[in-house]
Every structure is written in structure tokens, then in C-alpha cells.
Amino acid sequence: MRTQAEIKAMIEVLAKLDTSRMYLNDFFHTWKESDDEIAAVFQVAEILRAMREDNISTKVFDSGLGISIFRDNSTRTRFSFASACNLLGLEVQDLDEKISQIAHGETVRETANMVSFMADVIGIRDDMYIGKGHTYMKTVADSVAEGYKDGVLEQRPTLVNLQCDIDHPTQSMADMLHVINHFGGVENLKGKKIAMTWAYSPSYGKPLSVPQGIIGLFSRFGMEVVLAHPEGYDIMKDVEDVAAANAKASGGSFRKVDSMEEAFKDADIVYPKSWAPYAVMEERTRLVEAGRFDDLKDLEKRCLENNAKFKDWTCTEDLMKTTKDGKALYMHCLPADITGLSCKEGEVDRSVFDRYLVPLYKEASYKPYIIAAMIFLSKFEKPSAKLQMLLDEARPRIK
């Protein structure tokens, strides 16, 4: 619990950040946001969390809808989005759309408008097909912006990217907020080494947006960012370029290695996590588009066989011992493939995972607040003034 004076001080920090460009705007990729904007998301998230802990209502919407569009199943993201909306006073309405039902841009435009008559925010997760997810989100965002301009919609619904094919900003920012708190402040991150490494999983086709999101964001804080994966498991080149440029600008570094051992060595943070090779994801998209489902099965088979060559890419106790003081912060977006628990051979040893259970849950717990902060910043031109007003009113969340 924080005192009102502490929260007031947090609001004053926020007031100094320039968030004007976020107002009535969408959140697609972290690297499209300025440093002030990134800092503001963290700051608003922390303020909202502090106010909730103090039983102060942050319900800024009296009514209004938050539309969620999940193009694959997602319990956790669904609940995070629903929590964020509820915290601010929006009611969630789920739109269940199969990928096959949204083919043409015009159809997307129509549906986007039809579900948005009372929508203040739209959250979309569409991470399955390379080259599709972000494009879809952009079409939705443009459609409702136009709907607002044309007088069809009474408000401009803003969009939160809940995971696309390129970035997973709500994940990477929740992860980073966890890291900031773990190390006692953003100022302590300079020079810290993070190992974002591929790890073996018995399942196939995991999205690239987590590793991409991590290197695209963590490289902004002067850290030593190391990306490790077996040969062939490349991620998108564009995002590597983003990470390299970020690292340069922030006085940190970004490099790629082909050994988990090298990545883990003296690392302060490790993030071992499976993903599919970019080239495979591209082929998969082409096959789905062409309706070649037999070839798709074949691709999956080949991909799993290839994965199996790298079963030694797994986060063991021995590897953990090679990290900084043997105590690196272990991270994962969850759920993990845990050796001996959820599968025979997976991303991480059960004993390692178990030791980090509470930190892992805390890591996840930031996500609803990150989403709420993104919504908040897109809806209020002067977020600090609005938060101060809520603090002054101090309406109890529970009577």
C-alpha cells in the first residue's frame, strides 16, 4: 500500500512526460512509441495498481464497451483484457471471428464498424499468420477511425495490440515492468545482461512475437541483449534491426549467438522460450491461404522433427548455475512446457520453474495494468490531471 502522497508524487512524474501523441491513437508496436510514451505506460500502470491496492476507484468510464477480438483461443489474454476494461469501467464484448470469415478488407471494415457503435476500445490478438496479424489490426483501426470521421461512430475506438505476428507489446511491457521492479528501478538496468533464448518444446508453431517483443523493447534500456537460437530458428530481420538501433541509441548492445550456454553465461535475466522459425511460419501462412492442408500436416511433421534435434536447448539447473551469481531472474510469458510436469522434455526443468513460481505470477500480474494504462493514455489528453482527480475524489472501489 502506498500513501496518497506517494501516489501524488508518481502522478507528478507522469505529468512531465509528453503523451500528447498517444491521445486518440492506437498501440501497435513498442518501437513506434517514444521513450516518454513507454515511460508513461509504466507510470500509469503503477499508479492504477497503487490506487487499486488503496481501494480507490479508477472507473473513468460510466458506460462503454471494450471489444475483444481473439482469432485463436486465449484464456489468459482474455482475462487480462477483461480485467483492464473492468478496472476503467468498460464492459467487454467478445467478437468471435474465424480467420476464414474475414477475408476482404471491405468485410473487415464493415464488421469493425458494426461492432463499434458504443466501443471505446478494441483489443485484438491475431498472432497466427506471418504478415497477417498486424495488417488486420491496422485495417480495423483505420476502419473505425474513418467511421468516427464519417459520423457513423460517436467516438473513436482506439486499438490495443494484444499480440500480433510482429510484436506482443502488452507482454513485453509487463515483463519489463516486472524487471524494473525486480531490480529496483529503471536506472539500475544499464549493463544488465538478458538472454532471450530459444528453448525446445514438443509443440509446434509458437509465435515469434514474444522474442521479437522482448528484444525490441529491452534493447531500449542500455542492457546487454543477447538473442540465442539454433540455426534456422531466425526471427524477423526487421525487428533485429530495431533492436540493434535501440541498443546503439541507449548505450547498450544487441547480439545474436547460436548457443544457449553462451547466452546464459553471467546473465542477469534469462527468458528461455520456444518459437517456430520465421521461414516455417511464412510457409505455413502460404499453405493456409492456398488451402493446402495436407502439406500443412507435412510441414508440422518436418518442423517437429527438426525441433527434436535441439532437445538440449532447455533451461536446466546446471545452466542456471552459470548465470550471474547463479541467480538470474528466470522469466516466461506462461504457460511454459515444463520437463517432467506438463511434458516429458520441454523448455525448463521443473525444479527451476518451481523456484520462480511467485516471480512468474508477479510478472504476469502486470499485464492487466499495462493494458489499462494503454487504454487510459489513448483516452485522456491530460492523463496526470485525470489521475489526480481520481485520487482527490478517492471513491472507494469496494464500499
* Choice between 147 and 213, CB closer to a copy of itself: 147
* Choice between 240 and 363, CB closer to a copy of itself: 363
- Residues 368 and 84: beta-carbon distance below 8 Å: yes
The CB-of-317 to a copy of itself minimum distance in angstroms stands at: 18
320 binds a copy of itself (CB under 8 A): no
Cis peptide bond N-terminal to 211, omega within 30? no
From the list 83-91, 182-190, 270-278, 280-288, the region that binds a copy of itself by CB under 8 A is 83-91
181 binds a copy of itself (CB under 8 A): no
CA distance 384 to 146: 29
The residue from 8, 89, 306, 345 that contacts a copy of itself (CB under 8 A) is 89
98 binds a copy of itself (CB under 8 A): no
* Contact pattern for a copy of itself over residues 280 through 319, marking x by CB under 8 A: ----------------------------------------
CA distance 190 to 193: 9
Rg (CA), the chain: 21
CA distance 274 to 206: 7
Residues 62-81 that bind a copy of itself (CB under 8 A): 62-65, 75-76, 78-80
Residue 70 bridge partners (DSSP):
125
The CB-of-230 to a copy of itself minimum distance in angstroms stands at: 28
Element (H, E) at 6: helix 4-15
The residue from 7, 10, 22, 87 that contacts a copy of itself (CB under 8 A) is 87
21 binds a copy of itself (CB under 8 A): no
The b-or-e profile of 291-323 (16+ CB within 10 A means b, else e) is eeeeebeebbeebeebbeebeebbbbeebbebb
From the list 113-121, 222-230, 292-300, 304-312, the region that binds a copy of itself by CB under 8 A is 113-121
* Choice between 88 and 267, CB closer to a copy of itself: 88
The CB-of-17 to a copy of itself minimum distance in angstroms stands at: 20
117 binds a copy of itself (CB under 8 A): yes
State the DSSP string of 122-134: EEEE--SSTTTHH
Burial of 287 (0-12, 13-18, 19+ CB in 10 A): middle
Number of residues that bind a copy of itself (CB under 8 A): 68
Element (H, E) at 152: none
Residue 188's identity, in one-letter code, is: N
C-alpha grid cell, residue 67? 471489444
The residue from 13, 15, 24, 152 that contacts a copy of itself (CB under 8 A) is 152
First to last CA, the chain: 18
Element (H, E) at 242: helix 237-250
Where on the chain is the footprint of a copy of itself (CB under 8 A)?
49, 52-53, 57-65, 75-76, 78-80, 82-83, 86-87, 89, 91-93, 95-97, 104, 106-107, 109-111, 113-115, 117-118, 120, 147, 150-154, 334-335, 341-342, 354, 357-358, 361-362, 364-365, 367-368, 379, 386, 389-390, 395-399
